[in-house]
Chains A and B, each alone.
Chain A
Amino acid sequence: MAANGQIKIFTLKIDGKDVSARSDQTVLQVCRENEFFIPTLCHLEGLSNIGACRLCMVEVAGQRKLLPACTTMVSEAMEVTTTNDKLAHYRKMTLELIFSERNHTCSVCVSNNHCELQFLSQKLGINHIRVPYRFPKFAVDASHPYFILDHNRCILCTRCVRVCDEIEGAHVWDVSGRGIQAKVITELNQPWGSADTCTQCGKCVNVCPVGALSEKGRSVAENTKRSGFLPYLTARRKEKI
């Protein structure tokens, strides 16, 4: 954004095509607006961007490193490449690593056919995982009256953490530990049902891209989600302030 807070209009090239963008937009927003496909998992319109999943990597002319489209702001005369062999290679590898980290057996998952991870793997042509699965053994937390948390399917995108903090304002979730030990927790790493700060609003469940958070009573392939509420909720709340 310009220093004086004024929004400028930039012209940039995406995959060779000229497009215009507002200076307060991210590369991802502009690509989506112009219907260039970029896979994302941790990004969700209406929440802050954290650049965690690395699926949205793009090439920017003049930059040696790949950049995450969700956290990169546009600039004048920027040249962005959204698809090539190198990017396809990295995106596939990233997805495979996400799969291998936990236990994603789609056929028995509540989110089968409604899962963003599954959808992206199909779209990016993943048919087998070249690294061994780690199969960590996590207990399932079914202590909440309405919802279930299954760490074995969690991809640590932290959408639940952000929606609960930024939109609901309860901040029930966070991530404990680091590296391979990282996992989402509620309050002091205690059963979700005992977390007094949870308002039981269900936002976290609805933004979870996979089968890690689900409503009770859903069986295999029944975990449909509604996350369309986010952009307008965010916008309306901003207007009120």
Chain B
Amino acid sequence: MPAYPVKVQPPTEDKRWGLVMATMKRHGYQSNAMIETLHTVQESFGFLDDDSLRFVSKALNVPLSKVYGVATFYHFFTLKPQGKHTCVICMGTACYVKGAGELMETIAKKYNVHPGETTDDGNLSLVTARCIGACGLAPAGVFDGEVNGKLTVADTLTKLTKWE
């Protein structure tokens, strides 16, 4: 049995691992630094792939399945690279009541992508959110960072067509 913490090398030479290592070091390689560390990976690389999950698991001595569970529990984390464009549709209660479900379905069907995933060509990520704090404007969505309210199916499709 190796005594922990053991020095675990990052999976690649990529300089961004330095940031990740710094986060772990700041927390003394404690297992409760897992979420912080995953945050840094997400922010530095844009997503968490298997190699990075394995690395975090090993370096902090947290079981793989636990790391995977956390990475899939929080909407903040993604396991695949984000698309070129991101469309967030709020599925909070107010937006849902005002027809967010229909918006989501239409987009999913037209672009053949499930909520939370990215189109095969890597152009569009479709993301769901729980209440983005614009309930007065329900149903609301965020298109590449820009909040739009009172969305109709037609508006939404017009916006997305511009990205094609």
A179, chain B: closest CB distance, angstroms = 10
CB of B122 within 8 Å of the partner chain: no
Instruction: Please encode chain B, from 123 to 160, with 1 for each CB lying within 8 Å of some chain A CB and 0 for all others.
Output: 00000000000000000000000000000000000000
B11, chain A: closest CB distance, angstroms = 14
Measured in the bound complex, the distance between the Cα atoms of B67 and A187 in whole Å is 9
Measured in the bound complex, the distance between the Cα atoms of B64 and A188 in whole Å is 6
Of chain A, the residue at the smallest CB distance from B72 is A176
B54 partner residues in chain A, CB cutoff 8 A: 188
Instruction: Please encode chain A, from 130 to 174, with 1 for each CB lying within 8 Å of some chain B CB and 0 for all others.
Output: 000000000000000000000000000000010001000011111
CB of A214 within 8 Å of the partner chain: no
A170 partner residues in chain B, CB cutoff 8 A: 63
Measured in the bound complex, the distance between the Cα atoms of B72 and A187 in whole Å is 13
**Number of A-B pairs whose CB atoms are under 8 Å?**
41
CB of B73 within 8 Å of the partner chain: yes
Of chain A, the residue at the smallest CB distance from B66 is A174
A165 partner residues in chain B, CB cutoff 8 A: 63
A171 partner residues in chain B, CB cutoff 8 A: 63, 65-66
Instruction: Please encode chain B, from 112 to 130, with 1 for each CB lying within 8 Å of some chain A CB and 0 for all others.
Output: 0000000000000000000
Measured in the bound complex, the distance between the Cα atoms of B73 and A175 in whole Å is 9
A187 partner residues in chain B, CB cutoff 8 A: 64-65, 68
A188–B50 contact, CB under 8 A?
yes
Measured in the bound complex, the distance between the Cα atoms of B84 and A165 in whole Å is 40
Q: Which of A173, A177, A186, A197 contacts B72 (CB 8 A)?
A: A177
Interface size bracket, A side: 10 to 19
Given contacts A171-B65, A172-B65, A197-B63, contact A188 B72 (CB under 8 A): no
A34 partner residues in chain B, CB cutoff 8 A: none
A174–B69 contact, CB under 8 A?
yes
A188–B68 contact, CB under 8 A?
yes
CB of A178 within 8 Å of the partner chain: yes
CB of A185 within 8 Å of the partner chain: yes
CB of B21 within 8 Å of the partner chain: no
Q: Which residues of B line the A interface, CB within 8 A? A: 50, 53-54, 63-69, 72-73
Inter-chain pairs besides A174-B66, A188-B64, 18 sampled, C-beta below 8 Å: A165-B63, A171-B63, A171-B65, A171-B66, A172-B63, A174-B68, A177-B72, A177-B73, A178-B73, A185-B65, A187-B64, A187-B65, A187-B68, A188-B50, A188-B53, A188-B54, A188-B65, A188-B67
